[in-house]
Structure 1
Amino acid sequence: MFLKLHAVFSLFLYAAAFLASTLLASSISRITDIGNLFDFKRFLAISVILSSVLILASPRQLRGARLQPTSIVALLTFFILGMISAINSAKPYWGMVELANCGLLLIAFFTCCICMNYVSKRSLFRGVYIFVAAFSLLFLMQFVIKLLIHMLEAKKPGMFSLISGFDNPRILNQLQVMLLPLLLLPFITLSLAKYQRLSVFLMAIHWMAMIQTEARGAILSLTLAGALVLYFNRAADRKTILKPLAQSILVGLALWAVLIVVIPYLLIGETNLRFRTGSSGRAELWLYALNSIRDNFWLGLGPMSFAWAEGKPLFNAHPHNSSLQILYEYGFLVFLVLLIWVTRALHIALKKIDSDLHRETDTVVLFSILSALCYSQLSGVIVMPITQLMLVFLIALYHYQSNTCNISIKMRWVIPASALLLATFIYSTYEHQQLQHLKMPRLWQHGLISPK
């Protein structure tokens, strides 16, 4: 009983951290000495991971995730070649810091899996749905309040002016591509069926917000991921997902047209209606990364090296493309290993949808993971602290109670010690003298690193 309560409490801390670092961040960060939202989120993410490893102190036997041999090989290759790349880079210290953060995220995956194994499937997914619904309702409240203020002050709603709690509104879009598919849970889980209408409305709110913030990449990612999931799904089950998605898109478009276009036009006499067609500087960053990869094709220029790269067309600390980021920083060998590993894992997962071994909840969780991976090709999903943690949580959720093994006494000492060591190492880099005071986050808000 104590173990179950500890597991539930740890998962509750994850949910609380997500809310505290997003919609409630502006209010909560004021009571801390941390100067900006991004650094507050990084501290919060690391602290939650540290708190979750306490479950390993339980005197009872624990069960966690058993990694497949291919996963072990891929991860070992990543860390070994990553360390070699870091040692040979211009900034070995910062390369090791990036690898330390990756190690901490791996620990987060293991502890999430352990916690989830001691919660029933019904309770776990009910809790996930309650969290996503609560996040969506809080977001709706903030959105409506901001919109009313704009109307009372006769202001046109800007692209990001209705969003609060995010140092970068694109982080909201990164979370939306992962959270929106989870709102489909009532359509495939009988215990949540009474919330189907609420889900359609909440999904519509997210579609409206994505249209308002001109999140073209997020909409495209959800579309591609949804198409993949529907293609591999049973023909009889496709309608279960497609119908509520289509309904929510139509309602979202209608809400956007009424609240963002028509009403402001009637009250103010003008609107901010426009459609961007440019790449927002991404194309230039990608070309720069592709041209620079040749400098060290096999091992890359070192983990986090994009943060101190010279001659970039923009000051961004990452290229807004996970594939190019891995190629640039870790090299072709690591990129090839990870590409084969991820492609194989996704192919197995997609083929499993149409098999008798498939769990109905896997569909929406896989939808969320695929959406995040698609959006990582256009945004910093694998860089931002809260989206990193959310993606790790979703992967652990997909592996819920599958292929488990007993956690040895030795590992129950090694994992917490490693987490504490890695977290201390990362904490020590806060406000480091080499961090330039330009708001281009990578690890911390001042994410650019002096090239000298």
Structure 2
Amino acid sequence: MKTFPFITTLCVFYFFLTLLPFIPVFSFDYHNHQRILQVILLSLSSITFLIKLSARKKQLSTPIISKLIYLFIIMGVISSILSKEENFSLFYTIHFSFLFILSLAVFNDESKKRTLYFIVSIVILHSTLVLVCFLNVIFSIADQVQLNPFVIYQNFINIRFFNQVQVFIIPLLIFLLKHKDIKRVVCFFLTLNFLLMFIGHARGALLTFIIILLLSQLFDKHQRKDYQIAFVCLLIGFLSYYICNVLFSFGETSLNTSSSGRLFIWQETISEFTWQQLFIGNGPGVFQTSLEGRAPMSHPHSSVIEIINEWGFLAFIFLSLAIYLTVKNAVTYLVVNNEDSSSKALLYSFISGLIYSLLSGVHVMPVSQTLLFIIWGLLLARTSNKALAFVKFKRWKLVFFAIIIAAVWYFYGWVALETYQKMNPDTGYIIGPRFWSIAHRL
């Protein structure tokens, strides 16, 4: 039974339903639409993967990265049990467990053709979305109004959700520059992506690309030219943005220079750290703070601060080691196999997501979160020695394990449904939603 074709198709179908603005939204808003589909994706992929593991006849070893992930999840469970919001925190820990299982499913069944199929599919879907946004740019220019990202970014209730996906896609687009027959088309879409970043004042996303550009120039002689072409596309995108503002916005070019409250949130969160919190955390998913005169924010817009605050410092160490080993293995592999451009694109995409997560909610929002874990699994599969994530169970242990997993699935679905039913659109939206866009918890 080959699960990856099913999982690949499932993932591509998920992005088809969440990225393309032509699909009817079947919830209060586009964010919840994406989250409902993510819950379905994680449930189906975890069931498929665990069924495959139960059918294995021989015992297989567990790689060290998987062991570190297990320890991270165990720390999340301990933190949840001691949390003031035990049910929701356990639910959020299970959600991340399913995301890791999705990565493991991809990791165990990846192939060169399937990786290429996924990259091309996700790039085509995202490029279709970018084309729709470009039409909105043209309509704004025709109406001679200022370029407004809330109008141009089709169906995204928060413009940063759009940018969070872009940081993953741009390295994959650059990978496609090696195909000479579509090189001009790729350059066109790179330019459009950068234009949209400037329209949305996506300083963090632009900074992420510049860091990746510098890394490629310093350490990657085989792909320097491709990233130099991408940099030219960035300059063209900036000139296009500037010209549009000068010609159609009465000479005014707005520039966002504030931190949007991030610095204050980070300072406040760090100042409130306690020794117990550093080791155990407050419970995954329960962060909340408020800025004066603004709605509560449900995550601190920094993956490092968030994990230490909610999961604890030990969990942060385990996760950091897993990420470090992933990058280290990938770099070691690429030193020897420096012409493996698809693996290189996955590494750049993964690092881009990690860098941007330091400044934004990449690891929180449904589409970017799913992309992060899928790309992690693909990168591991292409650059590490493959080994299944679980050992073979005896029959009685397998039955016991199946009962536990069924209970976990039931709990996950129950809390997701309960929190969904508690939403009230009349109360307005919380800034930086954590799970549902109106972030009520049990």
Q: Per the shorter chain, which TM-score range?
A: 0.7 to 0.9
Q: Structure 1 residue 263: deviation in Å?
A: 4.2
Partner of 2:409: 420
**2:10 aligns with one of 13, 19, 22:** 13
**1:374 aligns with one of 355, 358, 380:** 355
Look up the equivalent residue of 1:264 and give its one-letter code.
F
Instruction: Check conservation: 2:71, 2:315, Cα contact below 8 A.
Output: yes
Superposed, 1:38-437 pairs within 5 Å as: 38-53=31-46, 55-56=48-49, 67-69=62-64, 71-114=65-108, 116-117=109-110, 120-122=111-113, 124-140=115-131, 142-188=132-178, 192-233=179-220, 235=221, 237-258=222-243, 260-265=244-249, 270-294=250-274, 296-307=277-288, 315-356=296-337, 359-400=340-381, 402-405=384-387, 410=393, 414=402, 417=406, 420-421=409-410, 423-431=412-420, 433=422, 437=427
Give TM-score scaled by structure 1 length: 0.83
Q: Structure 1 residue 301: deviation in Å?
A: 1.6
Offset from partner CA, 1:81-125 (integer Å, 9 cap, x none): 2222222222111211110111111121122334x43xx513531
Q: Structure 1 residue 11: deviation in Å?
A: 1.5
1:224 & 1:124 partners in 2: Cα distance? 25
Offset from partner CA, 1:425-448 (integer Å, 9 cap, x none): 442333354999452211111115
Structure 1's 131 and 94: CA in aligned 2 closer, same or farther, altered over 3 A? closer
2:13 & 2:291 partners in 1: Cα distance? 40
1:161 & 1:224 partners in 2: Cα distance? 29
| Identical columns (%) | 22
Q: CA RMSD in A?
A: 3.2
Give TM-score scaled by structure 2 length: 0.85
1:121 & 1:389 partners in 2: Cα distance? 21
Structure 1's 122 and 247: CA in aligned 2 closer, same or farther, altered over 3 A? farther
Q: How many residue pairs get matched?
A: 427
Offset from partner CA, 1:164-203 (integer Å, 9 cap, x none): 1212110110000000100122345xxx442222111111
Bigger Cα displacement from structure 2, 338-347 vs 391-400? 338-347
2:254 & 2:345 partners in 1: Cα distance? 32
Structure 1's 394 and 185: CA in aligned 2 closer, same or farther, altered over 3 A? same
Look up the equivalent residue of 2:233 and give its one-letter code.
S
Partner of 2:20: 23
1:334 & 1:251 partners in 2: Cα distance? 43
Structure 1's 423 and 403: CA in aligned 2 closer, same or farther, altered over 3 A? farther
Q: Structure 1 residue 19: deviation in Å?
A: 3.0
SS of alignment partner, residue 445 of structure 1: coil
Instruction: Check conservation: 1:160, 1:169, Cα contact below 8 A.
Output: yes
Instruction: Check conservation: 1:39, 1:445, Cα contact below 8 A.
Output: yes
Bigger Cα displacement from structure 2, 77-86 vs 427-436? 427-436
